[in-house]
Amino acid sequence: MSIKRKYIISLNEIKKIIKINALAEIKCKKILDYLRKNYKHYNWIGIYLLKNKNKLKLFTYSGDKETQHKIIPINKGLCGLAVRKKEIINVPDVTLNSNYLECFPETKSELIVPIFKNNELIGEIDIDSYKLNAFNKNDEWFINKIGEIIVKIVIKK
Ligand code: SME
């Protein structure tokens, strides 16, 4: 199956998940579980939401392990960098990036995609991969689409 076709199927599945009658946190967790199950290079996926414009707070995640970084000030980490730059951060080798804040020793690459509501950054999707150079422009496009879907359920204003 082509990657485009796989993405279309996944986006349709995710649109079904957001229609179920459940709390936003539960819906998001189901979406993250779905992604991790179907995209093997996504080893840990979390949604962080921006609080008081100065820190990120973990909303929910899918992964084998818990992160100790449940709160990240925006002056720290790759996650903070994505907020400051308001852009996608795609790091092929985390050992070569001085901003990197380690969560799991297995992580080799990381993708962070900001989530916007009316041009305002409200959070981000963070993916750790145990593979080097795991993410390409297709992943960036796809995760950005997921952000556009989930913003509707995490922020209601
Ligand atoms: N590595 C991130 C911290 C979050 S964990 O990967 C879950 C960073 O550098 O900001």
CA distance 70 to 137: 27
For residue 77, give the ligand 1 atom closest to its CA. 10
Distance (angstroms) between ligand 1 centre and the Cα of 87 equals 16
Q: Is 128's C-beta closer than 6 angstroms to any atom of ligand 1? A: yes
pLDDT digit string (tens) for 17-42? 999 999 999 999 999 999 999 999 99
Percent of the chain whose predicted confidence (pLDDT) is above 70? 99
Residue 14 has pLDDT above 70, yes or no: yes
d(CA 139, CA 133): 12
State pTM to two decimals: 0.97
Query: Going by DSSP bridges, is the β-strand pair 55-62/44-51 parallel, antiparallel, or unpaired?
Result: antiparallel
Distance 72 CA to ligand 1 centre (A): 8
Name the DSSP class of 95: G
Mean pLDDT of the chain: 97
| Widest CA span in the chain | 43
Task: Read off the pLDDT band of 157 (50, 70, 90).
Answer: low
- Using CA atoms, how far apart are residues 67 and 103, in angstroms rounded to an integer? 6
With the most atoms of ligand 1 within 8 angstroms of its CB, the residue from 43, 71, 78 to mutate is 78
DSSP H helices in 2-73 = 3-19, 24-38
